[in-house]
Structure 1
């Protein structure tokens, strides 16, 4: 069996007409970041956590999530032969800026899917001692105050085109991180409600129709970051072996990890950075 076939996973699928609220529920239930979409038992596309996140960040309609089919957001799906090297897959994923590839067999068709998570585990097993975290980390990172409204935080994520943002307290100390998955929980709670209760004014309660995360009058302006953020913030030292950081990301099932410099948050490391490490290692010889 090839290394690629040994690390790929069986994909979770859903019909392309499945509503967005059900797609989000499947993602959260299985703790995955993408679902293959099918029509008449044939693969027609893929929908990812990022696709949904970007949609939710910019959607200001009053359309409920159960009225939006997954096909509205799906993208084309790229597949490779199971005999291909993992390193070549990394090159394709970086070139196409995608987070997964289908893995096929001439005899059995699509047999699995390989994701950045699988690549991260592969790096941990095969590239230990090759790089330190500081070699690949991004030194600058985007942060906001945890007391900022969800609307303002989401606006910043759109402006910077990022899928996660660090949140700090009044003293400037990291307090948590807000990701697409945190927003999904809000979407399920609020997105299928025809009305949202606004208690920003203690004297009155006003009912507003759902207008999305950027709403001035709905939940986007009445929920603050610390109410929905992930409060645990995993981090590693910048001098640590990159393989150790891969283990932390894999074990905690997270897409990015904070990097400490002299015990202060000094940057961030993502799964994409790990793919770049593999690419650099195999193109510098």
Structure 2
């Protein structure tokens, strides 16, 4: 079947929404409670922005010494919102995601009110619901990897996520993937006070000087200073063989509610496959 003829009307889902004056703390609670990675900001039934887990992690660093409770959803309103209507094509949606490096397109009605959203997950699911050409993982995977070791400091891993604009860092030992860290790992439901009190500001300053971390890292998240990657990583990551089928990869992503898979060959890490890589294929 030619997916290019498909309309996104088949894929539209209802998003979780917040108002412009919803606080960042409340938004974080909503993300965790509903087990979603993003919420849409609406005002008078019209979408005006999106907040993702990555946005929250980045904003916490930008705050410096400002209280996190002072930040509201309206602080995340972008200069441009990417929207389509339900009669747009799957390929058009995939091209928009690829061009602007986004994981969500907002679907609006003729009067610009919110109708729903289409995410990378929705597009990737096409490989399960439609009869498409068989594709090997090796064709779509990325081979340029950003990785860390289990003993690397958590702040260093966070710095990699922000510096390279990626959503996950694979933790490897002896060329084998042993864990994975995503932005969700930096958005805990509640920051334990004993952790917040454990970081000595002078130690953080010394750590930053030695490791070359950005100035913004010595603030709201400095409680992470004592911890290493092994303390927060998801262990025993789900992997896919490089010669496996994309359909199997999508099945694993859906089953385990993840957006990326370390790719292995003979148990050794050789790449990574993400939903973004799959969307790029649909955009061609």
TM-score tier, shorter chain, comes to 0.7 to 0.9
- 1:65 maps onto 2:61 in alignment: no
Deviation at 1:181, TM superposition (A): 0.3
Aligned residues of 1:93 and 1:99 also touching (Cα < 8 A): yes
SS in 1 for 2:249: helix
Alignment of 1:1-285 (within 5 A): 3-56=7-60, 58-59=61-62, 61-75=64-78, 76-106=80-110, 109-126=113-130, 128-169=132-173, 171-185=174-188, 188-189=190-191, 196-198=196-198, 214-215=217-218, 218-280=222-284
Taking the aligned partners of 2:107 and 2:63, their CA distance within structure 1 comes to: 37
Structure 2 portions without partners, runs of 5+: 1-5, 206-214
Deviation at 1:60, TM superposition (A): 5.6
Deviation at 1:177, TM superposition (A): 0.6
Deviation at 1:117, TM superposition (A): 0.8
Aligned residues of 1:249 and 1:257 also touching (Cα < 8 A): yes
TM-score under structure 2 length normalisation = 0.83
Deviation at 1:188, TM superposition (A): 3.5
Taking the aligned partners of 2:149 and 2:216, their CA distance within structure 1 comes to: 17
Deviation at 1:15, TM superposition (A): 0.8
SS in 1 for 2:29: helix
User: What CA deviation, in whole Å up to 9, does each residue of 1:26-54 have, x standing for no partner?
Assistant: 11221212111123443222222222233
User: Judging changes above 3 Å, is the alpha-carbon distance between structure 1 residues 168 and 213 closer, same or farther for their aligned structure 2 residues?
Assistant: farther
Aligned residues of 2:46 and 2:112 also touching (Cα < 8 A): no
Q: How large is the RMSD of aligned CA atoms in angstroms?
A: 2.8
User: Judging changes above 3 Å, is the alpha-carbon distance between structure 1 residues 222 and 59 closer, same or farther for their aligned structure 2 residues?
Assistant: farther
Taking the aligned partners of 2:104 and 2:232, their CA distance within structure 1 comes to: 28
